[in-house]
A and B are shown apart, each in its own frame.
Chain A
Amino acid sequence: MSTARFKGKWLPWLFLLPTLIILLVFLYYPVVQTFRLSFYRVAFLGLKTKFSGMENYLNLLHDTGYHQTIVSTVLVAMAVVIVGLGLSLLIAMIANQKIHGANIYRFLLIWPFALSPAVAGVVFLFMFSPGFGAVNYLTSVVTGHELNWLGEPKLAITLVIMASIWKNLGYNIVFYLAALQNVNTEVLEAASIDGANTWQRFWRVTFALLSPMTFFLLITNITYSFFDIFGMIDILTKGGPLDATNLMIYNLYRDAFEYYKTGLASAQSVILFLLVVGLTLIQFRTSGRQVYYGG
């Protein structure tokens, strides 16, 4: 097999240039600035800056509220990733059956992904609003009880998790469906002939063959649950009640854009960045090694 080669050293860089410029302006430069500002005391989104060393990090280290924020963030991320991926795989397996109108079902299942987090948030807000929501209306008719979905810390965090899982179902299902359709039926047949039961065929064959996709989704879902959950929280709970849904991304938004503590927010941003990078590296070191990319 021969590899195609570019003529000259600079040609590939030329092709990469448009992408690099965009990344430089919108990603790398802001990241560097964020790291820099985390060591400064900043007023008015950067109008005034003063070097303050590790002050921002020390403030966070001693802030018990922020510790709670980290714990909640990790718990929510675990729930969203594990339940979300499990549910998506289950639905994708069902949707992969050869039944009448399968394409319509598949399309409908993927639909939530096409909504922006803001729209999905408003839909859930309508349904779960304590005063006029459909969910409380139904539960009060059936059971005579109403739940304070937005006012009760545990319920509020459950609601955020449910909404976030629902919102990302479509995305996960699309990728799982694509992967499932690519599973070699000959291998499954062979397993049947060897006497494997349904569970064994799923776990030993299908799930193993899906591992590259699961690994990919694991990473994207972790990113989703750490960062993209922002829109959902902003619309549903605004971090409340009692800071129960005040996750890291929301806390840093509030500090940066509502309280004008840009330096402190930058430090939080750095911590969040390191946390996600760390988690991803661990993923590559551990589960990454179990991934089977085919022979």
Chain B
Amino acid sequence: MQTSFRRSLVLVALVMLVAVVVSACAATAPAGGTQTKVVEVTKVVEVTKIVKVQKQAEEVIPEGATVIDFWHAFGGGRKLLIERMVADYNYTHPGTYVHVENKGSYRDTLNAAILAAQQGNPPHIVQIFEIGSQLALDSGIFAPFEDSAPSWVHMDDLIGGVSNYYRFNGKFYSMPWNSSNPILYYNKDIFRAAGLDPENPPETFEEMLSACETIVSSGAAKNCISWPLHGWFFEQWMANMGAELADNGNGRDARATSVNLTSDAAKEIVTWWKEMYDKGYYAYSGKLEDWDGADAIFVSGQSAMEITSTSDVVNRQNDAAANGFELGTGYLPYPANSERMGVIVGGASMWMTAGHPDNEMKATADFITWFTNTENAIRWHKATGYFPIRKSSVTVLEGQDWFKRNPAYRAAFDQLLNTKDDNATRGAVIGAFPEVRTIIEQAVEKVLAGQTSVDDALAEAKTQADKAIVDYNKSVE
């Protein structure tokens, strides 16, 4: 009796040990930003291992060098690319050593930076997503980039859409980095099978409905289109119709105090979204903000089209090649009764934290400027699909016939260049943006599920969002 009990205790201990080892292994895997695909989990883990091995060999900080910490939110291939670029900088700039680290998702990175600042040891450079800009400003831990930037930064070289988003009250508080828009991706083979013109994707909400009817009724695909149930698309459609999301000039003239969720534009978007869903044209994974789920529906041929970020151009081209279909790209659709105003820049920018010695501030600004210079903007664009953010980069790319040889990038870029600049297309600036976004997503979710009418859902969402904004504004007063 005694021995059997002891044996089972040993058993318990053994299992506990296994559990600890397994969870420890899991803990070393990257948390994965929005970009990391679930299906690629194993691949990512392998890549991380390789990087770790390389790092251990490389990570020799030269004696007397100024060390700059750089935190970002990219995983997978993009993380490797960033590390290669940083290694190039370190090699060509003796005296400065940039130490680069991935801190998980955008939100994780921002949280980690704020906590580090509280403890008096913030990283010099933090990558912060666009809707975190107001948060970053209010946190008071960052120094305006423009004040430390070297003369050769040439902010006027930035392309319009990008500089319009990131200039607040006429000043660049951060350096724009990875920038993207939503575009339409479509499967030309399914278009052909349905008898549609594979060179003319639908442009308006109305054309989208009729193209979808053809695709679904012909049986060429089970669903017509997918995109993640994500507030970003709602925001983009508002801008595309020239409607401001928040008051006070979209939060750019003064701090936003409420959102325009009960406007006609908002109702039109959600009504169309609902019609697309009810007719079985629109499909999503059932989860909020599930980029991978939308990708899977399109890539597997379950839908003929997908709306997602331009930063996925390279990924979608690879998917199309792997699954043997021809990929096309087009503009974000808009309602025919309104003019196409254009799209908002999404992505992230590089922020400098305040309070470091002068030599470190100088080295930090120097690195950021180098990292986003003409050549590096080109390198970044080609490897990911994010925009080349400098006019000089575009000139070089055109000299290489880059857009002619890669028409998929062309649609993405033209859509940005054709965007008309106003407060709507500059994008809303709201402190409580992360929460407002979720509130909008939940309203759309309720409408799609048939729980409430479009009007009621949007009215309720407006009440909630306005309260979130007021609460936030009170907390930073």
Contact = CB atoms under 8 A, between A and B. Distances in A.
Interface in A110-164: 110, 113-116, 118-119, 122, 125-126, 129-132, 148-153, 156
A240 B434 contact: no
Interface stretch (A37-45, A218-226, A276-284, A287-295): A37-45
Q: How large is the interface on A (under 10, 10 to 19, 20 to 34, 35 or more residues)?
A: 35 or more
B468 interface: yes
B442 A242 contact: yes
Given A131-B296, A131-B300, A243-B442, A178 B5 contact: yes
A174 interface: yes
B302 A131 contact: yes
A174 B12 contact: yes
Nearest to B7: A181
A8 to B, nearest CB: 33
Interface stretch (A20-28, A74-82, A196-204, A256-264): A256-264
B18 interface: yes
Contacts of B471: 261
A212 interface: no
A242 B445 contact: yes
Contacts of B476: 43, 48
B286 A44 contact: no
Interface in B443-470: 445-446, 449, 451, 468
Contacts, number: 133
B317 interface: no
Interface stretch (B110-118, B184-192, B305-313, B318-326): B110-118
Given A44-B135, A122-B38, A131-B300, A116 B23 contact: yes
B398 interface: no
A166 interface: no
Contacts of B115: 45
B285 A47 contact: no
Contacts of A257: 107, 111
B177 to A, nearest CB: 22
A135 to B, nearest CB: 14
A155 to B, nearest CB: 9
Nearest to A175: B12
A68 interface: no
Contacts of A50: 475
Contacts of B284: 151
A192 interface: no
Interface stretch (B136-144, B332-340, B356-364): B136-144
A31 B117 CA distance: 22
A45 B284 CA distance: 33
B22 A152 contact: no
A243 to B, nearest CB: 7
A237 interface: yes
A116 B26 contact: yes
A84 interface: no
A148 B280 CA distance: 14
Contact of A115 (B22, B432, B434, B446): B22
B462 to A, nearest CB: 16
B9 A47 contact: no
Contact of B285 (A46, A129, A178): A129
Contacts of B475: 41-43, 48, 50, 261
A130 B293 CA distance: 9
B68 interface: no
B65 interface: no
A259 B445 contact: no
Interface string B119-140: 0000000000000000100111
Contact of A47 (B26, B27, B118, B445): B118
A130 B286 contact: yes
B19 interface: yes
Contacts of B138: 43-44
Contacts of A126: 38
A125 B38 contact: yes
A294 B358 CA distance: 72
Interface of A: 41-48, 50, 106, 110, 113-116, 118-119, 122, 125-126, 129-132, 148-153, 156, 170, 174-175, 177-178, 181-182, 184, 237-238, 240-243, 254, 257-261
14 contacts: A44-B138, A45-B118, A47-B139, A48-B475, A114-B22, A116-B19, A131-B285, A151-B286, A151-B287, A238-B287, A240-B286, A242-B449, A257-B107, A259-B434
10 A-B pairs closest in CB distance: A151-B286, A178-B8, A150-B286, A116-B23, A43-B475, A116-B26, A259-B435, A114-B18, A114-B19, A181-B4
